[in-house]
Homo-oligomer: A and B are copies of this chain.
């Protein structure tokens, strides 16, 4: 057999999705062909449309098919608070779980000089200009606690200090409702080190 069959090509193409190995790709391909051709066809269309049309918000860098995303365009958000996150998905998580009503800025990554990801790749020049307008009064850092996240937080502190703007970072520690014995060592040691007066 020289050229792969269309079914084989479909199975291979499905593997671009995270968490989809050869077995699940095969299962998905057979399922779609046998039971949901309409859904598969619609998914095919939307995938192409999404790749073509979804770009980044010119204000906050999140995903949007418009010039400015819905959240940045909304008049009902607090301009004085700006929350910096690593990815668009973090906005969704914060919106769904909290009553934060400020604005967002999406880095689309973390500082990682070894991988060639510098401040300019994260839009930090754009962020600096925004802070210089002095509309934002508080920069809230909500990046991960990985080494790159820490480096990013450190850099953000420099920018905020230069602009004379208050900078805060979300709290890290033992999850609410979590039992101490099941919490990983890093989190627990951070929670002890960051203990507060009762």
Contact B34 A13, beta carbon cutoff 8 Å: no
Q: Is A195 an interface residue (CB 8 A)?
A: no
- Of A25-33, A75-83, A122-130, A150-158, the one contacting chain B is A25-33
* Distance between A62 CB and nearest chain B CB, rounded to angstroms: 9
* Distance between A179 CB and nearest chain B CB, rounded to angstroms: 24
Q: How far is the CA of A1 from the CA of B111 in the complex (A)?
A: 34
Contact B51 A44, beta carbon cutoff 8 Å: yes
Q: Is A59 an interface residue (CB 8 A)?
A: no
Which of chain B's residues have a CB closer than 8 A to the CB of A28? Answer: 17-19
Contact A16 B43, beta carbon cutoff 8 Å: yes
Contact A47 B50, beta carbon cutoff 8 Å: no
Given contacts A47-B47, A53-B6, A70-B5, contact A42 B27 (CB under 8 A): no
Contact B48 A6, beta carbon cutoff 8 Å: no
Residues of chain A in range 11-67 having any CB-CB distance to chain B below 8 Å: 13-14, 16-19, 24, 26-34, 36-37, 39-54, 63-65
Q: Is A92 an interface residue (CB 8 A)?
A: yes
Contact B41 A1, beta carbon cutoff 8 Å: no
- The residue on B at minimum CB distance from A24 is B19
Q: Is A117 an interface residue (CB 8 A)?
A: no
Contacts A6-B54, A16-B40 aside, 9 further interface pairs with beta carbons under 8 A come to A7-B65, A16-B36, A17-B43, A30-B88, A30-B89, A33-B51, A33-B54, A41-B47, A44-B48
| Residues of A participating in the B interface, judged by any CB pair closer than 8 Å | 1, 5-7, 9-10, 13-14, 16-19, 24, 26-34, 36-37, 39-54, 63-65, 70, 87-89, 92, 108
Please give me the 8 A-B residue pairs with the lowest Cβ-Cβ distance, nearest first: A16-B39, A44-B47, A44-B48, A13-B43, A13-B46, A6-B65, A41-B51, A10-B50
